[in-house]
Homo-oligomer: A and B are copies of this chain.
Amino acid sequence: MTINRKIVLAARPRGLPQTSDFRLEQAPLPAPGPGELLLRTEWLSLDPYMRNLMEEVGPGYADPVALGAVMVGGTVSRVLQSRHAQYKEGDLVVAGAGWQDYALSDGSGLLPAGDLAQPSLALGGLGMPGFTAYVGLLDIGAPRAGETVVVGAATGAVGAVVGQIARLKGARVVGIAGGPDKCRYAVEQLGFDACLDHRDPQLADKLAAACPDGIDVYFESVGGAVFNAVHPLLNLNARVPVCGFIAHYNDKAAPGPDRLPGWMATVLSRRIRMQGFIILDHYATRFDAFRRDMAAWVADGSIRLPEDVVPGLENAPQAFIGLLQGKNLGKLVVRVNAP
């Protein structure tokens, strides 16, 4: 009998998750009913938003994971058995099958993965994180040629794409990342104009030096010290798309000083537009344009999509904890099962 391994939420984390907050369980392989598909996970995406789904109260854009339930996650999955008219055995699909080997699906929310030479990209630069970068940067940030764009987590799944699209649009791009290796990668491999280490005690001064004309777009996904360094450099009419605040996802308390009044004073005096967005809202209107543009940019070499591949479903919890600590370089994916 084939066994389905699944990683469930064992406990709600306090602060940074521990491996003991997850539990590997085994169960018999489910069988598809009429209209259903049996999917086998080939690739699992690990993304910062999952941390928010581990809280008892969800973030609003998605339901929290129940205790004992399979961790939620995007996957590239193979159709093993199909009792669904639109899919046949052997099809590769982008699904939300979660942290497990197998899953049933009624077909809702599935997308064909197409014939990508590197199917895991459908979870990264050609999928949700890349789409997040595209919509946030182009539709909210709207950089003009010659403007300065700053992005944190510069070698992460979203940040790497933000910076490269901004360069294509003629902006000066300054990344912020964790450690000299990532910074070197951002400049040498991704074409950023500069990249600074967020652990550098001189970050604020170095960012000011790297942005002699100030900052016009700050793509916010990080918070913390990066936000503090960016804040005084924002130009009149700067735009701040907000797709995350990862430095604070593990926060339980937020000791002072209270940064909100100072931030509001800046929003006012510099006429800043800050806008949060959840990428789920934009698939209907913008995904086709994104896929067309991004596929072309990847094909002609204008955009590189670095990946950090972790072998084995059992390693997903530790890899996810590392993601929250900034240990990955590029999009973090788990190789769950070979074809």
Interface positions of A (Cβ within 8 A of B): 59-61, 220, 223, 227, 236, 242-245, 248, 251, 253-278, 281
A305 to B278 CA separation, bound complex (whole angstroms): 41
Distance in Å: Cβ of A319 to nearest Cβ of chain B: 24
Do A271 and B264 touch across chains, with their CB atoms under 8 A apart? no
Number of copies: 2
With beta carbons under 8 angstroms apart, the residue of B59, B60, B263, B278 that contacts A260 is: B263
Q: Which residue of B lies closest to A237 (CB)?
A: B281
Q: Which residue of B lies closest to A231 (CB)?
A: B260
Do B245 and A268 touch across chains, with their CB atoms under 8 A apart? yes
What residues of chain B lie closer than 8 Å to A220, measured between beta carbons?
264
Q: Which residue of B lies closest to A272 (CB)?
A: B276
A327 to B60 CA separation, bound complex (whole angstroms): 39
Do A261 and B269 touch across chains, with their CB atoms under 8 A apart? no
What residues of chain B lie closer than 8 Å to A276, measured between beta carbons?
264, 266-273
A334 to B89 CA separation, bound complex (whole angstroms): 81
Do B269 and A278 touch across chains, with their CB atoms under 8 A apart? yes
With beta carbons under 8 angstroms apart, the residue of B257, B261, B271, B273 that contacts A273 is: B273
Given contacts A276-B270, A278-B268, contact A245 B259 (CB under 8 A): no
Given contacts A255-B257, A257-B258, A259-B254, contact A275 B271 (CB under 8 A): yes
Distance in Å: Cβ of A295 to nearest Cβ of chain B: 27
Do A274 and B275 touch across chains, with their CB atoms under 8 A apart? yes
What residues of chain B lie closer than 8 Å to A256, measured between beta carbons?
254-258
Do B270 and A273 touch across chains, with their CB atoms under 8 A apart? no
Distance in Å: Cβ of A55 to nearest Cβ of chain B: 11
20 extra interchain contacts, Cβ-Cβ under 8 A, other than A61-B269, A256-B258? A223-B260, A245-B261, A245-B265, A248-B261, A251-B261, A253-B257, A254-B261, A255-B257, A256-B256, A258-B258, A258-B259, A259-B259, A267-B275, A267-B276, A268-B276, A269-B278, A271-B276, A271-B278, A272-B275, A273-B273
